[in-house]
Amino acid sequence: MSITDDPHAALLRMEGISKDFSGIPVLHGVDFELRRGEVMALVGENGAGKSTLMKILAGVHPEYGGNIYIEGRVTRFRNTREAGQAGIAMIYQELNLIPELSVAENIFLGREPHGWGGRVDFAAMNRAAERILADLHFKAPVQTPVAKLRVGHQQLVEIAKALSLDARIVIMDEPTSALSEPEAAVLFAVIRHLQERGVAVVYISHRMAELFAIADRITILRDGRTVGTVGAQEIDRQGLIQMMVGERAERFFVKAGMPAAEILLSVSHMTRRNPDPARPALVEDISFTVRRGEVFGIAGLLGAGRTELLEALFGVDTGHTTGRMEIGGKEVHLRNPESAIAAGIALITEDRKSSGLVPRMSVLHNLTLAALSRIALCGNLLSSGKEAALGEKMRADLAIPIHSLDLAVELLSGGNQQKVLLAKWLATRPCVLLLDDPTRGIDIGAKYEIYLQLADLARQGMAMVLTSSELPELISLCDRILVLREGRCSALLDREECTPERILDAAAPAA
Amino acid sequence: MPPLASRLRSSLNHLAPFMGLISIFLAGAILNQGTFLNLYNQLNVLGRVSIIALPAIGMTLVILAAGIDLSVGSLVSFSSVLCAMLLMEREWSRASVAAILIGTLFLFFVIQGAVRLLLPSGGGLRWLPPVVGCAGAAMACWMSLQVVPAGFSTWMVLLMVPMVGAVLGAVNGLVIAKGKIQPFIVTLGMMSAAVGLAKFIAGKGGQIHAIYYEAAGYVAAGTVGTAPRSFDLLSSKIPLFGIPLLPAAGLFFIAAALLAHFILTRLKFGRYLYAIGGNEETARLSGIDVDKVKIRVYAFSGGLAALAGVLYCAAYTQGKPDAGLTWELDAIAAVVIGGTSLMGGKGSITGTVAGVLIIGYLANILNLQEVPSEVQDILKGVIIVGAVLLQQGIMGKWLRRLFRTRYE
């Protein structure tokens, strides 16, 4: 066949793909093309339809309009297994591994090599797994339970699984969202390696720098339509953002400097022991102060203790925490999150689905969940009038663009969910706001709106403690940055000193 | 903005239990025109479902918080025995000891909790709630001690037996919350323990305790007296238009449903249940005392189950250690048919009321049709699973596939 011999022929073509969810159109005739051995970045703001398009390709959504051609033949997958057999593997943002099973067992889950009578041939399985991992230059004992691996390594196990399926197309949805920068570098090396083997990679990410580093071509989606496909060399960051947001211009953000104000939050010798006494403390002997209107950054690699520190400041796991905390000069004793809320502290958690929001609850009930006392008539009796008023106020304050607060919050896009989460905590009227990676996995437009909100809150005198997995974000937003390394403070940098090099240097393990 | 069609579909999902109720009602009306629609028959169904509806209402709240309570059937059995013995015995018995001890414990916690609510938060006087609690509980205990030789009154069993049920339920909640054990396991343990407890207090390997009212020809013998006449009112029918029609148990059902509906829609506690069922970690980080909520919801469920035991005792004039056998399954079935998700976080009391009535009407219609009971059980099973299939929209999916429309 001449088509397949041509290296530049499309391995995959998706034509006029349309899809709606319960009558709400998400894709309107999207075209997408993928060549053998290329890395294609798929970008667009949240809600542009990237994930939906890729889930159609992976057989997750079998009902759609339009056609998919693989090597020129019309194909229609009825389920993920058919897509897998056709050589399409998707690696989701939330990894699909079974934590208790070993690396090898995960790679060959459901396809274990077996001998007589269905007995699993563990030796053969482990050998095969080792071969695949060696291909990826990834050294891990294949019999280790996956739960014991770092997130970055778990992702490599997913990729190994895709390779073991002889995948020709590997789709990665926000693969670096949970990775530290060195882990991301390993991932990129693996992607290049896949490319050499002729595997085509679809790479979905919000991180501009990564796209230009790894992609050959970029397809831009906007509001469920294809804006265009360009070579990564032919376009710059500015141009790409222009295509993603359309009419709206790019908006850089740098927080204004901070006037000298009084100290609002003071933390001294905060230590959080590991529940397992044999292991080192999660956070050890951290002291810092935050002024009114200041954004105080916490930097560090994944697992350095960023989240654990913020949780400790919010009264989570007080049984293992020691240290002293003052707000406005008065010492506060946290017993639980309830007492932290009463003391004026709010924690925007890292993962909105698992610890920030109640997905199936309505937007309104999510907005008021942490501030129910504000809408109580007396004691335990809630006032639906007060609740509606508070909900409307928070929707207006944060400009949440939805027509009804009665929608389940899980139906909103990631950016809007994040706004609801922020509004939920602002409804408690805090004076100290702890933000754990508040722009994770949301699009540029929504990020910018969150930045504006934070700047506005700072002007109003809120003290904020912020972590982020993206260094540029941290540097542009924060007045000072504390760098964590293995639970300890390894540097405290003023604004002028905050450069990516210095932060990374302080964050990297000594060994 | 979601178009009308999708909004309609989402409200259809809410309405599914009621559409089920309407269709089964229509089926009954068509199959047995005369008898089924008769007011007497309708109120008869209400009377029959009322007792089992109480554990189903408690179960709804538990399931909304992503739990399950397998012990309600055993608690019905236990409390029916407890109730019968408290009414009939004229001397100290295992029943009166258990009821007074556990009831005292309940009052201590409730009184000190109430005092704590009244005190200003953060202030001193920390000693006050336990002291008042002790005093109040001791007083109630002393008063109930005086009652033992004369036998307990209807009012007292109506108060004490649910208290005992609530304490046993709270034990469920305590172990689930503090021990971090799955509710299924803990309440399975209580299911066995409560039946054992019922047989233990009944004595003689779990004998039946019958209720007798003072009447010509019946002579109280030994330590056994007679039940107060007023207890019979619990199984009677209240006159409407001069005719005894409305079953008293139905009033308890209606009151419990209204109370639970009020809790779920208007109280913080109800919102906490939905939040915990929807996402426990979020609930905890939103400042909700998850452990306390869990203890209370299992106590609520245990209390309602025990109230059902009292009504059972009145209806069947006996307390027996297997009175509530498999009732937990009927309760779960009613909740599920009513559209409450076993995953928690989604559902309503109105759905459970519909679920209870669907099961009641089904039995009634099949009885009127003289369908043998084994066939009834099979049909009930089919209805349970069919109802959930309907709610998950799988039927809708099949129908859509049948009339597949191409996307533009």
Span B240-250, pLDDT tens digits: 777 888 899 99
End-to-end CA distance of chain B: 19
- Give a yes or no: residue B64 inside a domain: yes
The whole-model pTM stands at: 0.80
Contact B408 A365 (CB under 8 A): no
Please check whether residue A132 is in contact with residue A112, taking contact to mean a CB–CB distance below 8 angstroms: no
User: How far A82 CA lies from chain B's nearest CA (Å)?
Assistant: 20
What is the per-residue pLDDT for A1?
Answer: 40
- Give a yes or no: residue B401 inside a domain: no
Please check whether residue A81 is in contact with residue A51, taking contact to mean a CB–CB distance below 8 angstroms: no
**Percent of chain B clearing pLDDT 90 (strictly above):** 57
pLDDT over 80 at B72, yes or no: yes
Question: Among partner residues A338, A349, A358, which is closest to B278 by beta-carbon distance?
Answer: A358
Return d(Cα A147, Cα A98) in angstroms, integer.
Answer: 8
The CATH number linked to B55 is 1.10.3470
Please check whether residue A140 is in contact with residue A168, taking contact to mean a CB–CB distance below 8 angstroms: no
Please check whether residue B199 is in contact with residue B321, taking contact to mean a CB–CB distance below 8 angstroms: yes
What is the per-residue pLDDT for A266?
Answer: 95
- Give a yes or no: residue B316 inside a domain: yes
Pairs of residues, one from chain A and one from chain B, whose beta carbons lie less than 8 Å apart: 92
- Between these two residues, B359 and B13, which has the higher pLDDT value? B359
The H or E element containing residue B201 is helix B183-202
Distances (CA, A) of A280 to A284, A505, B303: 9, 22, 47
Give φ, ψ of A148 to 5 degrees.
Answer: -85, -5
Flag whether residue B177 sits within 8 Å of chain A, measured between CB atoms.
Answer: no
Distances (CA, A) of B87 to A370, A507, B231, B380: 47, 74, 9, 36
Burial class (CB in 10 A: 0-12, 13-18, 19+), A190: buried
Chain B positions touching A382 (Cβ under 8 A) are: 266-268, 271
SS3 (DSSP) at A188: helix
Contact B267 A361 (CB under 8 A): no
Contacts of B274 (CB under 8 A, 6+ apart): A358, A361, A365, B64, B264, B345, B346
Contact A22 B2 (CB under 8 A): yes
What is the per-residue pLDDT for B386?
Answer: 84
**Amino acid making up residue A159:** I
For tokens 């930097």, the residue is: A299
What is the per-residue pLDDT for A45?
Answer: 72
- Quote the radius of gyration of chain B (alpha carbons, Å): 23
pLDDT over 50 at B259, yes or no: yes
Q: pLDDT tens for residues B265-297? A: 999 999 999 999 999 999 999 999 999 999 999
| Closest listed residue to residue A300, CA positions, set A153, A486, A492, A493 | A486
| Closest listed residue to residue B9, CA positions, set A9, A165, A411, A116 | A411
Return d(Cα A208, Cα A500) in angstroms, integer.
Answer: 16
Contact B285 A314 (CB under 8 A): yes
What is the per-residue pLDDT for A434?
Answer: 96
Rounded mean pLDDT, B120-125: 68
Probe site for chain A from B276, B281, B286 (most A CB atoms < 10 A):
B286
Chain B positions touching A358 (Cβ under 8 A) are: 274-275, 278-279, 282-283, 345
SS3 (DSSP) at B119: coil
Chain A positions touching B278 (Cβ under 8 A) are: 358-361
**Percent of chain B clearing pLDDT 70 (strictly above):** 90
What is the per-residue pLDDT for A248?
Answer: 46
Residue A256 is given by DSSP the state: P
Please check whether residue A152 is in contact with residue A183, taking contact to mean a CB–CB distance below 8 angstroms: yes
Q: Residue B286 sits in which domain range?
A: 15-90+151-212+221-395
Flag whether residue B393 sits within 8 Å of chain A, measured between CB atoms.
Answer: no
Chain B positions touching A379 (Cβ under 8 A) are: 117
Would you state the structure tokens that stand for residue A127, as one six-digit string?
């050998």
| Closest listed residue to residue A54, CA positions, set A23, A81, A30, A22 | A30
Contacts of B200 (CB under 8 A, 6+ apart): B94
Annotation: CATH topology of A263-507: Rossmann fold (3.40.50)
Return d(Cα B88, Cα B210) in angstroms, integer.
Answer: 8
Flag whether residue A491 sits within 8 Å of chain B, measured between CB atoms.
Answer: no
What is the per-residue pLDDT for A250?
Answer: 38
For the four alpha carbons of A351, A355, A360 and A366, in that order, the dihedral sign comes to negative
User: How far B115 CA lies from chain A's nearest CA (Å)?
Assistant: 14
SS3 (DSSP) at B366: helix
**Amino acid making up residue B94:** R
For tokens 């210095």, the residue is: A502
Rounded mean pLDDT, B162-167: 96
What is the per-residue pLDDT for A4?
Answer: 45
Q: Looking at the 3D structure of chain B, how many domains does it have? A: 1
Rounded mean pLDDT, B46-64: 95
> Which residue numbers in chain A have pLDDT < 50?
1-5, 7, 248-251, 511
Contact A369 B284 (CB under 8 A): no
Domain with CATH 3.40.50.300 in chain A: 2-245, 263-507
Distances (CA, A) of B246 to A103, B32, B341: 66, 22, 32
From A341, which residue of chain B is nearest by alpha-carbon distance? B287
Q: Is the CATH number 3.40.50.2000 carried by domain A2-245?
A: no
What is the per-residue pLDDT for A258?
Answer: 67
Give the range among A118-122, A207-211, B108-112, B120-124 with minimum mean pLDDT: B120-124
Q: pLDDT tens for residues A108-154? A: 887 888 877 778 888 889 998 998 888 777 777 888 898 888 777 88
- Give a yes or no: residue B263 inside a domain: yes
Burial string for A103-137 (b: 16+ CB within 10 Å, else e) reads bbbbbbeeebeeeeeeeeebeebbebbbebbeebe
